[in-house]
Amino acid sequence: MEKQLKQRCMIYFTGMFLYICAAAAVIQYTISDWYKFMIFLVPYLIMGYGVFRTLSESLLRKKLPADHLLIVLATAGAFGVGRYMEGALVMLLFELGMIFEAVSVDKTKRSIAEMIDIRPEYAVRKIDGIETRVAPWELCVNHMIVIKPGERIPVDAVVTSGITTVDTKALTGEMMPQTVRRGDKIYGGCINLSAMIEARVIKEYKESAVSRIMDMVEEAQNHKAESETFTARLSRVYTPVMFICSLVIMLVPPMTFSYGNWNMWIYRGLIFMIVACPCGLVMSVPIAFLGGIASAARQGIMVKGGNYLESLAKADTFVFDKTGTLTEGVFTVEKVKALGMSEDELIEMVAHIESYSNHPIAKSLVAAYHGRFDRGRVRHMKEMPGYGISASYDGYKVDIGNIRMMEKKKVLIDDEDTTGTLVYVSIGGRYVGHIIIRDKLKEDTRDTLNYLKEKCRAVLVMLTGDTKNSAMAVAEELDIDYAYTNLMPQDKLERLEDFLFLQDDTEKLVCVGDGINDAPILARADVGIAMGNLGSAAAVEAADIILLEDDLPRIIDAIRIAKATLQVVKRNISFALVVKVFVLVFALIGYFGMWEAILIEIVVMFMAIINAAWVVKYTA
pLDDT for 286-325, tens place per residue? Answer: 777 877 887 887 787 878 777 888 889 999 999 998 877 8
- Domain boundary pick from 543, 571, 586: 543
Is 606 within the bounds of a domain? yes
Considering the domain boundaries, does residue 556 fall inside one?
no
Which member of 167, 321, 399, 439 is catalytic? Answer: 321
538 and 586 in a single domain? The answer is no
Domain end position, chosen among 218, 236, 259: 218
Domain end position, chosen among 218, 235, 251:
218
User: Do residues 397 and 336 share a domain?
Assistant: yes
Label residue 523 exposed, middle or buried (CB < 10 Å: 0-12, 13-18, 19+): middle
pLDDT for 240:
77
Provide the H-helix boundaries in 81-126.
84-116
- Examine the domain organization and report whether 281 and 409 are in the same domain: no
**Both 434 and 570 in a single domain?**
no
CA distance 581 to 583: 6
Q: What is the mean pLDDT of residues 39-53?
A: 87
Q: Is 321 labeled as catalytic in the residue annotation?
A: yes
Number of domains in the chain: 4
Q: How far is CA 449 from CA 328, 479, 512, in A?
A: 15, 9, 12
* 300 in a structural domain: no
100 and 30 together in one domain: yes
Whether 315 and 445 share a structural domain? yes
Contact 191, 153 (CB under 8 A): yes
Q: Are 134 and 50 in contact (CB under 8 A)?
A: no
Secondary structure of 392-434 as H, E, C letters: EECCEEEEEECHHHHHHCCCCCCCCCCCCEEEEEEECCEEEEE
Q: Identify whether 427 is part of a domain.
A: yes
Q: Are residue 488 and residue 533 in the same domain, yes or no?
A: yes
The pLDDT of residue 460:
95
Residue 548 within any structural domain of the chain: no
Q: Do 106 and 233 fall within a single domain?
A: yes
Q: Taking a C-beta distance cutoff of 8 angstroms, is the pair 272, 253 a contact?
A: no
Is 324 a domain residue? Answer: yes
> Residue 593 belongs to what domain range?
3-114+221-290+563-616
What was the pLDDT predicted at 115? 46
Q: State whether 399 and 458 are in the same domain.
A: no
H or E element: which one contains 447? helix 445-455
- What's the pLDDT at 560? 92
Domain CATH number, residue 348: 3.40.1110.10
Question: Do both 210 and 225 map to the same domain?
Answer: no
Nearest to 562 by CA among 262, 227, 269, 163: 227
Q: Nearest-5° angle of CA 564, CA 567, CA 568?
A: 90
Q: Are 401 and 354 in contact (CB under 8 A)?
A: no
Residue 63 falls within a domain, yes or no? yes
Side-chain-side CA neighbours of 100 within 13 Å: the count stands at 17
The least confident of 197-206, 488-497, 542-551 is: 542-551
3 state SS for 134-162 = ECHHHCCCCCEEEECCCCECCCCEEEEEC
The verdict on residue 256 lying in a domain is yes
Q: What is the pTM of this model?
A: 0.60
For 497-543, the pLDDT digits (tens) are 899 888 887 889 999 987 656 777 888 888 988 876 444 555 566 67
